[in-house]
Amino acid sequence: MPNQKTEPILEVKGLKKYFKVKGLRRKSRNHQVKAVDDVSFTLHKGETLGLVGESGCGKSTTGRAILRLIEPSEGRVLYRNEDILQKSNKGFRKVQKEMQMVFQDPFSSLNPRIRIGESIKESLTIHSIGNRKEREEIVINILDKVGLRPDHYYRFPHEFSGGQRQRIGLARALVANPSILILDEPVSGLDVSIQSQILNLLQDLQDEFKLTSLFISHDMSVVRHISDRVGVMYLGKVMEEADTDTLFSNPVHPYTQALLSAVPVPKIGKKRERIILKGEIPSPLNPPTGCIFHTRCPYAMDICKSKVPEKIQIQDRHTVACHLYS
Ligand code: SF4
């Protein structure tokens, strides 16, 4: 596991993405959905940070905002100490080569009429890497790295299974030799046996390509398997962040404790008491005041309804936003 002494390669500071939503009635005022609200974290070289939380917590929006697939409302994203949100389109294109995204459904981003080899090659053409012959060689080499054959170059997207399509997604992301991968639910749509094949492949590729990764998932078990550190998100905010072993053995935020109580314990005879949270996740259109988790928290106090808890460090590399610890 990379330690904190390795250089930070990506620093996300106070990232916000607010969406304007029009009121239903003609004269009603506009609302804001705070999809990502003041998210900060640092990725060190070679490390994998898992971003986990229930559907709609803002984890995918965070990944997309970092890559400017949607423009953030506020905040800074420093790649090797340079704020990439301040770059012109031309300047940002150079950074794009270094930061690639893998989506849950790679099929939707593939043109059904273009052969797979050509689709993978696109990124090399965009970034002017190699001549025609060299590009083909690079693509055949990357097909091999992700466990596909050279003849797959000439096939069309519909000829591949779900697992093979995710291998193609990885090949497309890796072909230009990036430094950072942002993976958004990359194994969610796959059978469990295929999931583990893709996760193992991903780990091998991370080692071989010396990648730094942000791994976004709703699945705690998957995140535990792949991540060095984990950030837990709820309604657009990071509630707790720690090294994976620490987070799974000593979760301190009530929300993390509830999420983990639903994960099966691998040891026979060992049981974890399930914490059932009351109510539904509140609407992001009208989030609770104070601590956004107070409407569901079993330990909520008066202060939680009015004061937003600050993120505090309770141990080395272990932070939490909760009044129980302030
Ligand atoms: Fe629960 Fe209060 Fe902590 Fe929020 S700040 S998680 S409501 S105890």
Determine the pLDDT at residue 26. 63
DSSP string spanning 240-297? Answer: EEEEHHHHHHS--SHHHHHHHHTSPPSSTT------PPPSPPPPTTSPPSSSTTTTT-
pLDDT single digits (tens) 57-98: 999 999 999 999 999 999 999 999 999 999 998 889 889 899
Q: Where are the domains of the chain?
A: 10-325
Nearest residue (CA) to ligand 1, atom 5: 322
Percentage of the residues of the chain whose pLDDT score is greater than 70: 94
List of residues 6+ apart from 267 with CB closer than 8 A: none
- Predicted TM-score (pTM) of the model is 0.92
Determine the pLDDT at residue 270. 62
Of 217, 298, 321, the closest CA to residue 263 belongs to 217
Of 292, 214, 246, the closest CA to residue 56 belongs to 292
Under 8 Å between Cβ of 116 and 157:
yes
Superfamily of chain region 10-325: P-loop containing nucleotide triphosphate hydrolases (3.40.50.300)
Below-50 pLDDT ranges, the chain: none
Q: Give the span between the Cα atoms of 204 and 209, in whole angstroms.
A: 9
Determine the pLDDT at residue 93. 86
Determine the pLDDT at residue 5. 59
Determine the pLDDT at residue 73. 96
Determine the pLDDT at residue 134. 96
Nearest residue (CA) to ligand 1, atom 3: 322
Show the ligand 1 pocket: residues with CB < 6 angstroms: 254, 291, 293-294, 297, 299-301, 304, 309, 322-324
Ligand 1 closest atom vs CA 253: 6
